[in-house]
Structure 1
Amino acid sequence: MKSNDRVAALGHISPATMPDVANDGFRWVILLAIWSAFTVSCVDRFAWSSIAALAGRSLGFDLALLGSLTTAFYVGYTVSCPIGGVMADKFGSRTTLGISMFPLAALTFGFSFVQTFWAAIALHVLMGVAAGSEYGATIKILTVWFAKDKGRAFGIWATGTSVSVVLANALVPRIAIAYGWHTAYQILGVATLVISAVCVLIVRDAPTGHSVPRTSGAQVALLLRNRNVILVALGGAGALYGTLGFVAWASALLTVAHELSPMVAGSVLMWFGGGAFLSKPLFGWLYDALHRYAKAIAVVDLVFFIALLMAFGECSSTFGYFLIALFLGAAAYGYTPLLIGLYTQASGPRLAGAAAGFVNTIWSVGSFVSPILAGYVFAHGRSLELTLGVIAAGPLIGALFLCCVRQLPTRASPGLPHVSS
């Protein structure tokens, strides 16, 4: 038996064996709870970016160093993602959520008392460590609780990033201006604590009457040799390379290369964000309806992503930018629930946490590299077309990796074991 087949056999669940009927209503309550926890953790993540200039000036930080705090957060986040995933498989998702979210609340509140640059860096690293542990636990919960609606659950949950960007930029600066940036972080800390407590009280590791078997180190090691998980990880890294590269430089590309006003550029990117928000549940629904073709849909989406990037570069009218931005946002984020569905299908629910942590760590590499490389190309050539071409290389490589993913067998396989009474 091949290694990825053996990993899938460790706990792959077919829709027929998943106990959705008895727990149908409660699973949507759980989805709302973990969506809320994920959203508030993302607001904590994006809060610094929204008030960096204001808080940095108050603290006396060098303007050039303000972005270092965001980088510090992602360093901690990347390190903790695989650790949190393994913890979710070994000790349970609910326990891992508590271990992740409660320290994040305390660290966010504690950041309001920071005085020095290095203390701010250290706290952001620790905040990233706390937040990163949540990802694997969340994916495992959705994989265990949802079967036929798994794609929709992933898609709805993934909208938390879009909502959190809006909340962070709409609320945090207003609170900081009115009451001080210290108060903004204290309010965020309290909000994170309250939502975390509600989430941990509501969430259960598995539906009533079922249990999730714990994993061993040998099973996790086997997962890391799973061909499909590795290919989806590499494919997603390429896709996110394109998404984050565009997001990081879109405003500069529009204002510098095409001399649009910052206000118009911001409006264009709002349409991009709207497309991204709508696409996640839509593509999640496509995964549920056409899960046999999830790989093909993801590849087609990335091809459209590349084509829309090129069209964006060739566009010369403001109306064209608005029109393309809506569909570009959909293509730039629509693959997310599809890829989560693919790697959790390959890992099975028993190892879904470890798979999520491993894959998200690889995806983060693409997120780190793209803004730096795209920025270097743009700074030296000021060419919108060349910069977008460099960005488009990511989804192209990602699509090639995804083409190599093998379709898993659709025959029934072991489900969650029942708890004996």
Structure 2
Amino acid sequence: MFMKVHAMFQSAHPVSDATLDARAPAASSRSQPLSLDGLSKRFGAITALDDLSLEVRAGELVALLGPSGCGKTTTLRLIAGFEFPDAGAIRIAGRDVTHIPPNQRGLGMVFQNYSLFPHLTVADNIAFGLRMAGVPKRERAPHVARMLDLIRLPGFGERRIAQMSGGQQQRVALARAIVTNPSVLLLDEPLGALDKNLREGMQFELKQLQSELGVTSVMVTHDQEEALTMSDRVVVMNHGRILQAGTPRDVYDRPRTRFVAEFLGAANIVTFTVLRGEQNWLDISIGDARRAPPVTCRIGHALSKPLAAGATAELAVRPEKLRLDAARSDDIRFDGQVSARVFRGSQHAYRIDVPMLGQTFGVYQQAASSNGLEPGENVTLSISPDDLVVLEGEPQ
């Protein structure tokens, strides 16, 4: 633990006078844009990253999201300088830092287990980066006090780490990472050690602090809710590649591929046949004619490649977009039967069997005063064509 933290903070370049001006506001920042250009990394026969490129704007918080082994942690380690790429370049504010050591990159990092020093006080933990940067002892106190105010822990400087709660330790780790005013902040599963309720509260706190500071941030997480809540942009990865990047709302509402649709929340996947189409719309047929007459409708799309008449493809619809109540005039309707129901406090989660499609749909509905529908009840499943998202094939 010590070696990793020491490598991040033992700076060959003292922190600038402007950065350490005690009169400067706590939210001052020298945030810089980060550029990843064609990064590739192999570990023996395993390709961890495959020609990955990403631009992170100054002051932006980008979340790298994906399953274990997708390459997100390798990406963070390359940015930090703990690993070096086999190909590609890393630039901070246009400066190539691809092959320079961690202590010369001007970065801050919050580790998954915080990596705080238990034998030091809270103040000494926060001041560690300043000490490594060569800031004289008498000049550290004003900056530590500013950080304690910023993380809303004034007066906690003399406490030991063991006396702090998990959420407080997380904030101390953040203060230690930002006290030197880094150009880029790296967050490695920053809330992974917290329980669910505390983690949800800290999502808002961390995002607010990051916004106040305006520091360029890259966060690695496997938690979809965390990525959606905290980030300005979500980057979904798999097999060392970026599958989709965009605002949380864009990626959630308009996933490009089946993997993104199913990884970033729940999704119902339906196969369709193209009847005809133009640049921005398709007339499609849903259903198996051997079971029942197919349902036809017109939907919009933003595919990179056109689909010819007779082609089959997939579309996705989120469970909360489906309705079991009165349908609108332009809705697609399917007869179904409730096969299961789970009460989740704020909502009912249903499983609806649709015989004409030969599949089961997940449906979320807000819980009202009633107890909801019971298994065995017949329902009409209604879908707005506007909520159907046409999916592209997975990249090869």
TM > 0.5 between the two? no
Give TM-score scaled by structure 1 length: 0.24
Q: Name the structure where strand makes up a greater proportion of residues.
A: 2
Give TM-score scaled by structure 2 length: 0.25
Q: Name the structure where helix makes up a greater proportion of residues.
A: 1
Larger Rg: 2
